[in-house]
Homo-oligomer: A and B are copies of this chain.
Amino acid sequence: MTTGVDTALALHLHEQMVFIRRFEAKVDALYRQGRVRGPAHLGIGQEAVAVGAASVLRPGDRSIGTYRGHAHALARGAPPDAVLRELLGRTGGICAGKGGSMHITSVEHGYYGSYAIIGAHLPIACGLAWADQIRGDDAVTLCFFGDGTTNIGAFHEALNLAAVWSLPVVFVCENNHYMEYTPIADVIAVKQPAADRAAAYGLAPLCVDGNDVDAVRAVIGAAVDRARNGGGPSLVEAETYRHGGHSAADPATYRSTEEVAQWKLRDPLLRHAEQLCASGVSDGDIEAVTTGVAAEIERITVEALAAPSPSADTAWTDMWSDGSSRWRN
């Protein structure tokens, strides 16, 4: 963190993390006001994984994630106003109001979607990577999922297929220690839900502190390079924590306040701000990032709330490739 380039990058990563944090805090507030329809799963506390991982990708690389996917879409460059409008059910939503919070997608930015069935997108990630492999492209696919997801059959099938076909895909398990309300330790017979399973697919166990954006960049960056150079898939376990409940509706009373407090000390934003300071970035510059982000989020919120709802007849488009929803004559 010594050169100007490094500092610019570090500040950029910081801005992304702060943006995502503030964006999700805003979503939380809007949810509490009853303005978000359906569930909203926030990743507050886990930002370093999404931001660090996205920062090692190139345009043309692909990523894919879950219902807890706001961060992953934004980190790839999905327009925040269109994401917010999707959550609020306004015109201009990134999925035209048809997806909502759990299905944020921005193919234009290489984010192939958020999937709400546990594990379902891991095989899909294999397919994305397979297409690149067949064409001889050097694109890489990054696939995000949670600790609880390592227990579903699709995880097993996807990891094995990726390994056997040597696909250019990096699986990133965000181990936030909980499925919905149940600690992951209650439902596995190993210590680490992902890393301790890697050997079953002939893969090395890769672990990283998911609250340290630089560490994430290093470990996932190396895995991405390996995949890009024909070295096949990796499975990375990033240890992290969600500050809030499973979804915005969950008060998360199943966790002790001490546990939460302990993890908040390891907040990835705090830690990154400290590192920025240590590397000579001024408090003022760091403040400025936060102020800019806050203003931007305020602006898109005001605009989104002023936008109308989509018109009802748009429900009937986007079904088939001809744009219609006609299934019979």
When distances are taken between beta carbons in the complex, the residues of chain B under 8 Å from A156 are 151-153, 155-157
The answer to whether the Cβ of A201 comes within 8 Å of any Cβ in the partner chain is: yes
Q: A residues bordering B, Cβ < 8 Å?
A: 151-157, 160, 163-164, 186-190, 196-197, 199-203
Question: How far, in Å, is A146 (CB) from chain B's closest CB?
Answer: 15
A and B contact pairs by CB, cutoff 8 A, 19 listed? A151-B156, A152-B153, A152-B157, A153-B154, A153-B155, A156-B157, A160-B189, A163-B189, A164-B186, A164-B189, A189-B201, A189-B202, A190-B199, A190-B200, A190-B202, A196-B199, A197-B200, A199-B199, A200-B200
Give CA–CA (A152, B203) in the complex, Å.
18
The residue of chain B having its C-beta at the shortest distance from the C-beta of A201 within the complex is B189
A152, A157, A200 — which one has the most chain B CB atoms within 10 A of its CB? A200
The number of times this chain is found in the oligomer is 2
A157 touches B164 (CB 8 A): no
Give CA–CA (A187, B199) in the complex, Å.
15
Give CA–CA (A200, B200) in the complex, Å.
6
Q: Indicate whether A190 sits within 8 Å of B196 (C-beta atoms), given known contacts A152-B157, A153-B156.
A: no
The residue of chain B having its C-beta at the shortest distance from the C-beta of A160 within the complex is B151
Q: 9 closest A-B pairs (Cβ-Cβ)?
A: A153-B153, A189-B202, A156-B156, A163-B189, A200-B200, A197-B200, A190-B202, A153-B157, A189-B201
Give CA–CA (A157, B200) in the complex, Å.
14
B151 touches A157 (CB 8 A): yes
A196 touches B188 (CB 8 A): no
When distances are taken between beta carbons in the complex, the residues of chain B under 8 Å from A203 are 189
Give CA–CA (A63, B197) in the complex, Å.
28
Give CA–CA (A199, B202) in the complex, Å.
12
Question: How far, in Å, is A168 (CB) from chain B's closest CB?
Answer: 15
Give CA–CA (A203, B190) in the complex, Å.
9
Question: How far, in Å, is A97 (CB) from chain B's closest CB?
Answer: 33
Give CA–CA (A135, B227) in the complex, Å.
50
Give CA–CA (A186, B199) in the complex, Å.
17
Q: Indicate whether A187 sits within 8 Å of B164 (C-beta atoms), given known contacts A151-B157, A153-B153.
A: yes
When distances are taken between beta carbons in the complex, the residues of chain B under 8 Å from A153 are 152-157
Q: 10 extra interchain contacts, Cβ-Cβ under 8 A, other than A151-B160, A153-B155? A: A151-B157, A152-B156, A153-B153, A155-B156, A156-B157, A164-B187, A189-B203, A190-B201, A190-B202, A199-B199
When distances are taken between beta carbons in the complex, the residues of chain B under 8 Å from A190 are 199-202
The residue of chain B having its C-beta at the shortest distance from the C-beta of A158 within the complex is B153
The residue of chain B having its C-beta at the shortest distance from the C-beta of A155 within the complex is B156
The residue of chain B having its C-beta at the shortest distance from the C-beta of A156 within the complex is B156
